[in-house]
Amino acid sequence: MKGTLWVLLCFAAGCLAGWSGRLPEELAGGGWAEAVLIILLLLVGMSIGSGGQLRELLRRFRWRFLWLPLATAGGTLLLSACAALLLSWSVPQCMAVGAGFGYYSLSSILITQLESASLGVQMAAELGTVALLANVFRELLTLFLAPWIVRCFGPLALISAGGATTADTTLPAVIRYSGRDYLLLSVFHGVLMDFSVPFFVSFLCAC
């Protein structure tokens, strides 16, 4: 929760800094975005592979575990496509926002970077902002509504709602409300969703 609030505060500070018009042109124009993106992808790989977590997941892997992340991805992308009926963005762009699966930092930078050529820097930044806020709210709503989600839809629904965050920030909520029996599935689900974000977002931004 604290980490998410810090992200929102940093985002607000960045908006104010950009609005002031006093940033260097290279920084304000997004010249650092590609370097930050590369670092983020490196950190994603390091977090997945560190601490023996990946080895343990592979050792205890069962093929039936794949059904949950597939359902999460399918449901998220379907509802994101439906959102295009209410918004000015195209279906692939709305799906790219949803394809962040709660991973707000990586998805927002990816979308801003990949859409700059087709939409222009300003519109791409707006879509990246939408991705940031949509995925931050996904994490926050999962944390706040966890008891209600489990009570109304069952323990697996909470894991699906958390998306890519179920391996870290929403994992305590899963353990508390879904039960410790779902810990391994939750981590596997979160790792796989983390891994899928760059591929889904890149593919949808290219459509």
**pLDDT tier, 63 (very low <50, low <70, confident <90, very high otherwise):** confident
Is there a domain that residue 154 lies in? yes
Range with lowest mean pLDDT among 23-32, 113-122, 137-146, 157-166: 23-32
pLDDT tens, residue by residue, 118-129: 888 888 889 988
Enter the pTM of the model: 0.75
Q: Which residues of 23-58 are buried (b: 16+ CB within 10 A; e: fewer)?
A: eeeeeeebeebeeebeebeeebeeebeeeeeeeebe
Domain total of the chain: 1
| 23 belongs to a structural domain | no
Range 136-160 average pLDDT:
93
Q: Average pLDDT of 58-77?
A: 85
Task: Answer yes or no: is pLDDT of 166 > 60.
Answer: yes
Residue 43 Ramachandran class (φ > 0 left, ψ -120 to 50 alpha, else beta)? alpha
Domain of residue 39, residue span: 2-11+33-80+90-206
pLDDT exceeding 90 applies to what percent of the chain? Answer: 35
Q: What is the pLDDT of residue 122?
A: 86
pLDDT class for 2, splitting at 50, 70, 90? low
d(CA 33, CA 46): 20
What's residue 171's pLDDT?
A: 85
Residue 22, domain member (yes or no): no
Q: What is the pLDDT of residue 116?
A: 84
For the segment 26-41, the average pLDDT, to the nearest whole number, is: 56
Which pLDDT score is estimated for 52?
58
pLDDT of residue 101: 94
Average of per-residue pLDDT across 54-60: 64
Residue 165 contacts residue 102 (beta carbons within 8 Å):
yes
